[in-house]
Amino acid sequence: EVQLVESGGGLIQPGGSLRLSCAASGFTVSSNYMSWVRQAPGKGLEWVSVIYSGGSTYYADSVKGRFTISRDNSKNTLYLQMNSLRAEDTAVYYCARGPNSGSYYYWGQGTLVTVSS
């Protein structure tokens, strides 16, 4: 059974850093495209970043230069390192397997990041 479990969210002050983790089971992270998608309170879905199976990474303009997506193959885990956090980064962060033909079939339960002083 495929499972994605995020962790690492919390309350952080503006300018701070946080690392999110997404532990995967039932499949191999390194063999798949893996993404982070976020959702600000009361707002819609916003794509954040993707890492391809080959290792290439891409970011939304809103986080480029501040966020870094990575994976640990030995732990079958996806990460999102978030630096220079801003109030507008406040959101539930979901990890998702994909895109596959542009779709995300498997999603984690999400972890809430709140950036506030």
Partner 1 sequence: QSVLTQPPSVSAAPGQKVTISCSGSSSNIGNNYVSWYQQLPGTAPKLLIYDNNKRPSGIPDRFSGSKSGTSATLGITGLQTGDEADYYCGTWDSSLSAVFGGGTQLTVL
Contact positions toward partner 1, by CB under 8 A?
35, 37, 44-47, 50, 58, 60, 94, 99-105, 107-110
Smallest separation (angstroms) from partner 1 to the CB of 39? 8
Smallest separation (angstroms) from partner 1 to the CB of 16? 26
41 or 117: CB nearest partner 1: 41
Residue 105 contacts residue 97 (beta carbons within 8 Å): yes
